[in-house]
Structure 1
Amino acid sequence: MEPTLVDGQGLVAVSGRAAKPGQLRCLEHPSRPGFWLVKRVESVDGPMMRVVSDNDDVEAVDSRRFGPVPIAGSWRVILKVPRRLM
């Protein structure tokens, strides 16, 4: 998610919120249980959302590869913790 986030940066996220385009969300990879991703919501269609990476310089693992994902079970990022505080 560079340049938005940097390696090792902490996040605070909450569940139970509606997804909206532009939000950062934490979600479990649809094909790799236990592997979590941080992505930006591109669009919302009912209970599903398309998520994308902010970094166009790398081959992204996002909805362009695995398709829409459920909003249920995702977490909305509400705070980015500066790396210097980690």
Structure 2
Amino acid sequence: MRRNLTTSLRHRVRADPMAAFDRLPAPARAWARQAVLPWSAASVARIWARALAETGCPEAALARLHLAEARTLAREPSLSAKT
């Protein structure tokens, strides 16, 4: 059965999504738990890191996460009615 596992195609190793979530800062994890939409840890980390780099303030980073979610919800009218 070993031959079924051998291929010439590129192999892509996927990271553990829970480990990525656990690496988020505590405020970002708390935000992701209460978020309306299901955000990936990578998306939250990217928004958080960019906001911290620009402002240096965790509160501003949380505000940026809220803004990103509001903008995403605004693009989908059926979802914005649920909030």
- Structures share fold, TM-score greater than 0.5: no
Q: Which has the higher helix share?
A: 2
Q: TM-score, normalised by structure 1?
A: 0.26
Structure possessing the higher radius of gyration over alpha carbons: 2
Using CA pairs under 8 Å that are at least 6 residues apart, name the structure with larger relative contact order, 1 or 2.
1
Q: Which has the higher strand share?
A: 1
